[in-house]
Homo-oligomer: A and B are copies of this chain.
Amino acid sequence: MARTTLGQALNRALRDALAADPDVVVYGEDVGPLGGVFRVTDGLSAEFGEDRCFDSPLAESGITGTAVGMAMYGRRPVIEMQFDAFAYPAFQQVVSHVAKMRNRTRGRLELPLVIRIPYGGGIGAVEHHGDSSEAYYAHTPGLRVVTPATAADGYSMLREAVESPDPVVFLEPKRRYWAAEDVELPARTEPMDRAVVRREGSDLTIIAYGPTVDTALLAAEAAAGEGRSAEVVDLRSLSPFDDETVAASVRRTGRAVVVHEAPGFAGFGAEVAARVTEQCFHYLEAPVMRVCGLDIPYPPPHLEEFHLPGVDRILSAVDRLQWESSWVPGTAPVGAPEQRSEVNA
């Protein structure tokens, strides 16, 4: 088994996708000779030529709009937004065209394109380089929004995203680019739209995705030390959402914590908490806790540690899951009104 980083797995996925289908084209800012600022497209323009992997003018809306046009003609563009916050100029193209073209034309024009976005913080970069923008896309019908947490998923999910007939917003947890694991590529993992249980447990379920899956696993390890058995679910696909896997886990454990880096307010964790509660209400011993980024603009490097949900914050949320609640339905245990998840903690 070879040690492979997420970045290498994504690079390999693009290489194999380019080789497998002549209609696949990869372009964006600096993805050509440079290989992308994170080197995810390293070597592709040299290997496949500047016709298949190339640098475009510096304009995200134009990059996305031209990808729409290429897809209309049967190509499968894979475009890169250099950083999360630099995808915002393309927002109109994504929301009003990428997401709607199939619906608008009743399936006559489909847009099999992939928008790759390195997202999230934790790499000590200045402002605009650490946003977690998944909620904006997840709330937009017509888009598939996925995010891999492992190298194997990075490869498999990106291949699947390129092959998908639907447009896919492919969110890459940038601080995990360099995380290595043993994996033999090419590898195909579970279908892109399924959540997976990364660690089994019986007392509570930690629901995470992308950059926070690893944090959740570390927290589960630590919780085990404190005698609590935490199951960890990696969502993988934010939209569509795999209710079956998530609900099955929470019904088993009766308690849940959802973890993400984006600000908690109106963040994706709210959807997770809401639908888990809807589906598991009578199994829940405590409200679903949200451990999220603070409700602030992404902080400067020296302070990002306070913003990013870490093991300690997950553990203290776990502690607040009312382990020995002795309450009668309809009445509040002492202090329950003050029971708050971190979001409005």
List chain A positions with a Cβ less than 8 A from chain B.
Answer: 61, 85, 88-89, 91-92, 95-96, 99-100, 103-104, 127-128, 135-136, 138-139, 141-142, 238-239, 241, 243, 247, 251, 254, 262-263, 265-271, 273-275, 277-290, 295-297, 327, 329-333, 336-337, 339-341, 343-344
Contact = CB atoms under 8 A, between A and B. Distances in A.
Nearest to A286: B281
Contacts of A289: 278
Nearest to A262: B139
A64 to B, nearest CB: 12
A197 B244 CA distance: 37
Q: How many monomers of this protein are in the complex? A: 2
10 contacts: A88-B92, A135-B139, A141-B265, A141-B296, A142-B297, A239-B266, A241-B265, A274-B288, A277-B277, A282-B329
B286 A330 contact: no
Contacts of A281: 284, 286-287, 336, 339
Contacts of A127: 100, 104
A25 to B, nearest CB: 25
Contacts of A269: 274
A274 B127 CA distance: 29
A61 B268 CA distance: 26
A212 B340 CA distance: 28
Contacts of A92: 85, 88-89, 91
Nearest to A267: B139
Contacts of A288: 274, 277-278
* A-B complex: 6 closest residue pairs judged by Cβ atoms: A88-B92, A91-B91, A273-B274, A139-B266, A270-B270, A281-B287
A296 to B, nearest CB: 5
Contact of A278 (B296, B327, B340): B340
Nearest to A299: B103
A296 B103 contact: yes
Contact of A279 (B85, B104, B275, B340): B340
Nearest to A128: B96
Given A95-B85, A274-B274, A275-B344, A283 B330 contact: yes
Given A266-B239, A282-B332, A329-B285, A343 B91 contact: no
A65 to B, nearest CB: 12
A142 B141 CA distance: 26
B297 A103 contact: yes
Contacts of A285: 329-330
Nearest to A101: B297
A297 B104 contact: yes
Contact of A138 (B100, B266, B330, B340): B266
B330 A297 contact: no
Given A270-B271, A344-B279, A139 B265 contact: yes
A141 B297 contact: yes
A243 B267 CA distance: 17
Contacts of A251: 332, 337
Q: Which of A238, A269, A284, A297 has the most CB of B within 10 A?
A: A297
Contacts of A343: 274-275, 278
Nearest to A263: B141
